A = this chain, B = another copy of it.
Amino acid sequence: MTTDTGRGRQAGNGRATLKDVAERAGVSVPTVSRVIAGNYPVATGTRRRVERALRELDYVANTHARALRGHAINAVAFILNDVRGPSFAEVAHGIEQEAARQGRLSLICTTGGHPDRELEAVRLMREQGAEAIILIGGVRDDEGYRVRMRALAESLDQAGSRLVLCGRPSLGEDVPATVVEYENEAGAYAMTSRLLGFGHRRVLFFGGDPETTTAAGRLAGYRRALADFAVEAAPELVAPAPFDRAAARAVLRERLAAGLDFTAVFAVTDAVAAGALQALTEFGLAVPEDVSLAGYDDVSPAADLRPQLTTVHVPYEELGRVAVRLALDRRNRPERGQQHALLGTHVVVRESVGPR
């Protein structure tokens, strides 16, 4: 017995359109459009009738129709392994913040670390017409990867969008991508130097997959510091291990049981450091009295550990913000080629590193 509301489509079946609103207000569709846009003169009485109809029908614009006309969809997309990693979460936050500040929507997609899912995600985001597609996190930097990325950068560029590499190495000056990196090599150099300065000579570089860009950069810094201090780089003192805490713990436990000798551990990641700390403690080694321990990232576990972890601070949130800012900026005044930003890292001294 409910009276018809005058809505074109049956109640409860889809959203009201401009046409519905126009009918109800007794005006034409363009007029309603103009009232909404507010960039055109409309008689006050008409405006009021339209506004009422808008409210009564609970009108919301259809972005897709708009996007179809205007070509701009105002969204940035970001693709990462896993939101739960604290460092990823910070980058995500930075992106989200800056995107919102610039009136952009954020699309998110996680890949669980599968390169093929990354490609699939990119396709989805492209279809959505995202203004920028931001790829976050380390990768295996092989030839296949570089070829894929270069093609992607070109093709997004053609389409008026932008590929952003966040925490990944440059593809070359001529590739139309935005690259926002942070110091892996320099941070690791600084931390290793600190360890060496404390008199440590057998420093275990622990964790990570050296094929991965992140781990490789950190390892390079470690090696350079050793060289500068004229300390021999013993091969057994580079011990790869998965990035996660539990695996790191197991690997170090095994090394310890095998009698590996060292006085300091430089963990490739704070999470790896947390695992290492467990293994060390279980082995009866005190940190930093018996063994010094350093991490990299300065994310959530670092300050929770006892002792608190001395680590390298990475400005993850900033990374995300800069990524969005640069990408949108470039869209406003296009130029050929690459944009490149390199953010600094620095040692954060806490309690886990001490003299030998």
Residues of A near any B CB (own CB < 8 A): 11-15, 58, 60-65, 67-68, 71, 73, 82-84, 86, 89-90, 92-93, 96-97, 100, 105-110, 123-124, 126-129, 155, 157-160, 274, 300-301, 304-306
Contact = CB atoms under 8 A, between A and B. Distances in A.
A245 B315 CA distance: 21
Given A109-B100, A110-B93, A157 B12 contact: yes
A93 B86 contact: no
28 contacts: A12-B158, A12-B160, A14-B71, A58-B155, A58-B158, A60-B123, A61-B127, A63-B64, A63-B129, A64-B128, A65-B68, A82-B93, A83-B92, A83-B96, A86-B86, A89-B89, A92-B108, A93-B110, A96-B110, A97-B110, A100-B109, A100-B110, A105-B107, A106-B108, A107-B107, A107-B108, A108-B108, A305-B306
A152 to B, nearest CB: 10
Contacts of A68: 62, 64-65, 68
A61 to B, nearest CB: 5
The 5 closest A-B pairs by CB, nearest first: A64-B67, A64-B64, A304-B304, A15-B159, A306-B306
A338 to B, nearest CB: 16
A287 B110 CA distance: 39
A112 B279 CA distance: 38
A304 B160 CA distance: 46
A84 B73 contact: no
Given A84-B90, A306-B306, A60 B159 contact: yes
Given A15-B159, A62-B129, 16 more contacts: A12-B158, A15-B158, A60-B123, A63-B64, A64-B65, A83-B92, A83-B96, A84-B90, A84-B93, A86-B300, A89-B89, A93-B110, A96-B108, A96-B110, A105-B124, A300-B301
A62 B71 CA distance: 10
A159 B155 CA distance: 36
A262 B317 CA distance: 39
Contacts of A84: 86, 89-90, 93
Contacts of A61: 127
Contacts of A58: 155, 158-159
B304 A128 contact: no
A19 to B, nearest CB: 14
Contacts of A160: 12-15
